[in-house]
Chains A and B, each alone.
Chain A
Amino acid sequence: MGGFRLNNKLRKSMTVLAASALVFAAACSSGNSSNGSESSAPASNAAAGGGDSQEVVTLKVFISTANVPTNIIDNPQMKEIEKRIGVKLDFSPYTGGGDAKQKLGTLIAANELPDLIYNDDAETNNLLLKNDLILPLDELIKTRGQELEKNIKPGLDYSRAMFSNDTKQIYFVPNIVGDENVYPSGYDLVFQLRGDLLKKSGLSDPKSLDELLQYGIEANKLEPQTEDGQRTYLTGIPFADLNGFDYIDWNQAHYQGKALVKGFSYLDMETNTLKPRFSDPDNEFWQSMAFYNKAFQAGLLDPESATMKGQQVQDKGKALRYHLGIANWQIGWPNNEIVDKKDLVRGFIPAMLNVRTDYAQLRFSQPVGGSMKISIPKTSKNADKAMDFLNMAASFEGAELMWNGPEGYTWNMVDGKPVVKSEELTEEEKKIIGKNYLAPLMIVNGQRKNPNGWFTRYGDNSPELWVKGYSEPEKEYIQENNLEYPTQIFDRTEVVIADTSLIDPVVMDSSNSLATNETKISNYLNTNVAKVIYSKNDADFAAAKEKFIDDLKKLGIDEVMEFYKAGMEANKAKLAELQ
């Protein structure tokens, strides 16, 4: 009995001891060790071009959209940056997860700002500016930022005009200035339909929404189910996502030279003015609404659209349950799935409908920079080195390093020009070269072409390598249209990029009396657009449309649009004054 009690007591003691050891091991682990996977190789002391050793400085960087695996990333790209300019990046202020705005808020409150802030939230950027927490960069740019002046002047001028609290100084450097997103299957702003089904149906390329609907009907007859027996549809729209209604006129507006912007408006690319988006009964939004209503009436719109989120639509798109895509990401890049499965029949091709030949938004672009704004806090002890990093990111050499990684991994210099290796990169290799973490968020010079004549994303210099990634219908599409790659069809329109930089910075302050109207209108759109589309017949649709527009007018949509119009005009004047 005593022996039993002793064993029991001993067992309990051992359990407590083991648990305590576990806790102390965790508690005593260094809280300040920054990286478990940091390279054990000594930091390089070679500066680029100079051969003199330089001190390596570690810059703390906050990026609001970060999702990095560790505080200090060890890969060939980072090592090359360290070698060239003696800078190491430490992402410890925020490595992703949770609310970045909250995290930045605590850093501001505790006066623990890092050396560089990359932030795309207008409110917190305004906070940094108005509370005098960040440095004016004009002097630093003059002494250490010549590449910025040389390569991204439009971005700097824009920043001076829009984000300087009327001081006309540069506080924020925008990222990817001059970027134009060109990639061979970049169907981000255009419809894409099943080329194989279009061919089988005997129909010609649809030139209108009505012809597109006809394609939908025929495609559904030809392929009413997937191989797994799942029902197919023309498409699905994730109305359960915030502002899911933006998918409705996504394509039709772009084809007619209208960019979707704030203030419930379109930006007319030709006149650079704002036009009503929801309250004009004959415009592209209502043409698209009518299209999707007809699709619903014909049983071609996925009925689960009312409750689906984007991820579910993507999953269904990847499973080829949709015959039409509104954007590449919307249906989960199905061509990639098709090519991976070595399917030699199916494939999506662009459907240009009645696209204008003068103005149409067919590619994303950032003429004066993206939404990410880069600033250097006043508390930084390494402002000089921070500017060195920005200067490198603004140079063509630096940007190309960030896009493509160092020489030898994915490309080599051949006769003075960069040539990509023909082998496909694995995901692991992409991570090794650092492409996933730095590019494009940290690149400042987003220009597509190097003055030496090659494209900065080296893959673009070898379009012949892209063929491997095309589905069969895409290959046929290229041949029939005499193209090098599918999205080259966009070049048949003169102006394919929209500059929304004058409307983007216009912000409705929460103290403005119209702010409530704006919120109510947004809520109304989110809850009622789907209801109109789900009208059972044309008469119901017409009645719902009339009520919808009437309700929006009662909610003050015209007044809200006027606010944004006035804001845009004010920005035009600001920029004109500076120029």
Chain B
Amino acid sequence: MSSLSGKTFTVLNYVFLAILGILCFYPFYFIIVYSLSDPKAVLSSPGYLFPKGFTLVNYETIFSQNDVLRPFFISVSRTLAGTALTLIGCAMFAYGLTKKATPMRKFMYVVLVFTMYISAGLIPGYLLIKELHMLNTFWVYIIPGMINAFFLILIKTFFEQLPAELEEAALIEGAGYFRIFWSLVVPLSKPILATIAIFAAVGQWNSWMDNLLYNSSQSLLTLQFMLLKFLQTQSYSMKDAAMMAALGQEAFNITPQSIRMAITVIVIFPVLAVYPFLQRYFVKGIMIGAVKG
């Protein structure tokens, strides 16, 4: 029976959540509005609700001054390939670790967890990539990050929750481990795999450090790295500002705020566009993966 207090609570709840939602959503909205505003018109004050002097000139500037298509293509490719191979690699590895018959599985698991806490650092990592002849290749974006300890633990925990009887029944029927993995385990693990897919995809999309360190070829430039270079002129210390100004005005031209906003939109838009469709898997999967038994 809905009493006055119940109704009041409901109304207040809705209001509170609406405010919270607006507070979360508004910064994104502001960025989009700013990016669609005339750069000079917003110097005095930006449009808070609607673009001030609606224009696409900021996007035109970015696309005309940079060859965006190829880096976009590289970023999409690495996101697709990286996500797929990460899922396959982590899932297969995790499945193997759940099997008691796997030799040294406990040792492998400990080594894996160890890597979450200790890293060899930048230079050893670079030397390893060099020794593996992966410098200036597309695969350096994919292979080193294929097996992720955190993803592995999530997947392994999920696999361990699946009823053992299902596998036993399949084994009795004559199915091998590979068949069981593909036909039984993977279909039942969609929530966790979707979750890992989101994590992996976002990580691949946002990554630029590997481009800086391992790839100097222009044909393998990623979108994030290209846009970072475009944003290169950030806050300078006074000394830097003075030095740059002394070298010539052209050398010191901070990218207008409106261009920065447009770059932000270009970078986050693909993720924003895809994420709502996978959100339900994310919520379900992360909770299942976190709870055992």
Contacts of B254 in A (CB 8 A): 310-311, 314
Interface contact tally, CB-CB below 8 A: 176
Interface-facing stretch out of A101-109, A275-283, A379-387, A389-397: A101-109
Given contacts A242-B237, A310-B241, A314-B254, contact A181 B127 (CB under 8 A): no
Contacts of B249 in A (CB 8 A): 183, 328-329, 333
Given contacts A309-B235, A310-B236, contact A188 B245 (CB under 8 A): yes
Contact between A92 and B216, CB atoms less than 8 A apart: yes
Contacts of B243 in A (CB 8 A): 364, 370-371
Contact between A439 and B242, CB atoms less than 8 A apart: no
Given contacts A97-B228, A106-B123, contact A26 B241 (CB under 8 A): no
- Choose from A26, A67, A94, A330 the contact partner of B77 (Cβ within 8 Å): A26
Given contacts A36-B218, A109-B123, contact A328 B245 (CB under 8 A): yes
Contact indicator per residue, chain B 230-256, by CB within 8 Å of chain A (1) or not (0): 001011111101111111111110101
Q: How far is the CA of A321 from the CA of B211 in the complex (A)?
A: 41
**Is A452 part of the binding interface, using a Cβ–Cβ cutoff of 8 Å?**
no
Q: Majority SS of interface residues in chain A?
A: loop
Interface-facing stretch out of B130-138, B152-160, B192-200, B277-285: B130-138
Contact indicator per residue, chain A 12-31, by CB within 8 Å of chain B (1) or not (0): 00000001001101111111
Contact indicator per residue, chain B 217-228, by CB within 8 Å of chain A (1) or not (0): 111100001101
Shortest CB-to-CB span from A96 to chain B, Å, is: 5
Contact between A230 and B44, CB atoms less than 8 A apart: yes
Given contacts A36-B70, A109-B123, A329-B252, contact A31 B138 (CB under 8 A): yes
Contact between A95 and B219, CB atoms less than 8 A apart: no
Q: How far is the CA of A221 from the CA of B122 in the complex (A)?
A: 58
Contact between A250 and B238, CB atoms less than 8 A apart: yes
Contact indicator per residue, chain B 267-289, by CB within 8 Å of chain A (1) or not (0): 00000000000000000000000
**Is A461 part of the binding interface, using a Cβ–Cβ cutoff of 8 Å?**
no
Q: How far is the CA of A19 from the CA of B201 in the complex (A)?
A: 14
The size class of the interface chain B forms with chain A is: 35 or more
Interchain residue pairs with CB less than 8 A apart (6): A28-B138, A241-B235, A243-B238, A246-B239, A327-B245, A430-B250
Contacts of B170 in A (CB 8 A): none
Contacts of A430 in B (CB 8 A): 250
Contact between B248 and A439, CB atoms less than 8 A apart: yes
Contact between A364 and B246, CB atoms less than 8 A apart: yes
In chain A between 478 and 501, which residues have their CB closer than 8 angstroms to a CB of chain B?
Answer: none
Contact between A95 and B216, CB atoms less than 8 A apart: yes
Contacts of A109 in B (CB 8 A): 123, 126-127
In chain A between 496 and 553, which residues have their CB closer than 8 angstroms to a CB of chain B?
Answer: none
- Choose from A31, A228, A309, A315 the contact partner of B136 (Cβ within 8 Å): A31
- Choose from A176, A241, A318 the contact partner of B236 (Cβ within 8 Å): A241
Shortest CB-to-CB span from A417 to chain B, Å, is: 23
Contact between B225 and A315, CB atoms less than 8 A apart: no
Given contacts A31-B215, A36-B218, 4 further A-B pairs with CB under 8 A are A26-B81, A33-B218, A102-B122, A314-B254
Contact between A247 and B238, CB atoms less than 8 A apart: yes
Contact between B44 and A319, CB atoms less than 8 A apart: yes
**Is B73 part of the binding interface, using a Cβ–Cβ cutoff of 8 Å?**
yes
Given contacts A315-B257, A439-B248, contact A36 B67 (CB under 8 A): yes
**Is A316 part of the binding interface, using a Cβ–Cβ cutoff of 8 Å?**
yes
Contacts of A447 in B (CB 8 A): none
Contacts of B234 in A (CB 8 A): 311
Q: How far is the CA of A238 from the CA of B246 in the complex (A)?
A: 20
Q: How far is the CA of A316 from the CA of B247 in the complex (A)?
A: 24
